[in-house]
Amino acid sequence: MGYSEYTKHELESEFSALKSRYNDIKSMNLQLNMARGKPGKDQLDLSLGLLDVINSKSNFVGLDGMDIRNYGMLKGIEECRMMFADMLGVKDKNVMVGGCSSLNMMFDTISCMMTKPIEEGWDAWYKVEDRKFLCPVPGYDRHFGITGYYGFEMIPIPMDENGPDMDMVEKLVSSDKSIKGIWCVPKYSNPSGVTYSDEVVKRFAALKPAAKDFRIMWDNAYCIHNISDTPDKLLNLYEECKKTGNEDLPIFFCSTSKITFPGAGVAAMAASEKNMKVFTERYKYQIISYDKLNMLRHFKFFGDYKGLMDHMNKHKAILKPKFEIVLSKLENELKPVGVGKWTNPHGGYFVSIDVAEGTAKRVVQLCREAGVIMTDAGATYPYGKDPQDKNIRIAPTFPPNDELKIAMDVFCVCVKLAALEKLCG
């Protein structure tokens, strides 16, 4: 029986009991953090071997025949280009391996198109004063941060269990030349964990944008991050785009940040040869070469794609119980009272929850005051503004399991308390 069926008296009695429980929690002086998608210490320890595979006695000449300790190889070492080609589902000739951050590569990609046209005869985006970008919501705050920084008007596109609302995407993209792109996390989406359906991918490949310089920013951050024994499958967008003659539409990104060490991993991007020509024309002035020793380190640590997948299974063994803790707490604490609607992802880094409308900010505030830091409410929307103030991203990876259990207890109390404040208000 949910709160909606409670009598006034029952609601007040529950409210009073929860307030008392909340005060008990506050007196515990907790300091817990579920704000960001940071790997936990046990996950970091999985990659310690990465630091031993290269040492002073290593061989530094790889497939390219060059001493990788020196300048050169703008697009990265061939060994790593091959590895990322497998991850991204493209050919190695389309891959550029970069520094330690795919976010940086996405920023540079947008930055490039801001001042240089990606299509001949079209203006650099800086010149398009009413430039716009589509932002599936809930989505990744750092994506929105980039297009926000560059002054795009950001249009939220609702997500459902199949991906973004493609009717809306098609309608907008085909009619408005000032719409220049869309942010996508197509597999185990941040934060909902949704993987785009085959139909959604095919509809992306078949888009007919009014703007010839419209681009799909396909951030495949979680492409191999399964936490379920029945992992999702994502259709290969590049292959679909080849069929529709839309090869220049997508730009692909991924990294090892959540595979080895965040900030000390290796990132990569891929796109059609025509697109890569424009980006490489920028990269060749921007840098001589990225860190090839770290590329070699990653290649040697994994060995091959199978080695990489074996490594991911170790992450899965750590993450699966964490997601189970989160979901069982939500099931046990919130489902009975009919508050909240959440996702049950097969992979990725997050659980997305819609709490009672108009209470997300209050929930995060209550958590903070009780010593549990959550991602800011609204962060999953452009400009940090969730119009219904209901979505919260839960990031279960960083806290140890015993802390996660306590943090989720606190979170559930706060979700119920905020709902009751509204109902009893």
Q: Which residues bind to its own copies, rule: CB under 8 A?
A: 36, 38-39, 41, 44, 47-49, 51-52, 54-56, 58, 67, 69-72, 99-101, 103-104, 107-108, 111, 114-115, 126, 142, 145-146, 148-150, 257, 261-264, 282, 284-294
Nearer Cβ to its own copies, position 266 or 377? 266
Nearer Cβ to its own copies, position 206 or 318? 318
Q: Closest approach of Cβ 305 to its own copies, in Å?
A: 23
3-state secondary structure of 343: coil
Distance in angstroms (rounded) separating the CA atoms of residues 266 and 41: 19
Distance in angstroms (rounded) separating the CA atoms of residues 258 and 107: 19
* Tokens 């991602």 sit on residue: 375
Nearer Cβ to its own copies, position 187 or 292? 292
Nearer Cβ to its own copies, position 26 or 282? 282
Q: Closest approach of Cβ 409 to its own copies, in Å?
A: 25
Amino acid at 230: T
Q: Closest approach of Cβ 405 to its own copies, in Å?
A: 22
Nearer Cβ to its own copies, position 54 or 339? 54
Task: Give the residue from 266, 261, 256 showing the smallest Cα distance to 47.
Answer: 261
Nearer Cβ to its own copies, position 111 or 236? 111
Nearer Cβ to its own copies, position 52 or 198? 52
- Per the document, the length of the chain is 425
Q: Closest approach of Cβ 125 to its own copies, in Å?
A: 10
**Cα dist. 157→160, 173, 177, 212, 252 in Å?**
10, 12, 17, 21, 20
Q: Closest approach of Cβ 218 to its own copies, in Å?
A: 19
Q: Closest approach of Cβ 104 to its own copies, in Å?
A: 5
How many Cα atoms are found within 13 Å in the side-chain-facing hemisphere of 276?
Answer: 18
Residue 62: both structure tokens together: 């790889």
Q: Closest approach of Cβ 300 to its own copies, in Å?
A: 12
Residue 201: both structure tokens together: 């991918």
Residue 419: both structure tokens together: 């709902």
User: Crossing angle for the helix pair 292-302 and 305-329, nearest 10 degrees?
Assistant: 80
Nearer Cβ to its own copies, position 103 or 394? 103
Cis peptide before 138 (omega within 30 of 0): yes
- Contact between residue 379 and residue 257 where contact means Cβ atoms under 8 Å apart: no
Q: Closest approach of Cβ 370 to its own copies, in Å?
A: 24
- Contact between residue 75 and residue 280 where contact means Cβ atoms under 8 Å apart: yes
Greatest alpha-carbon span in the chain: 78
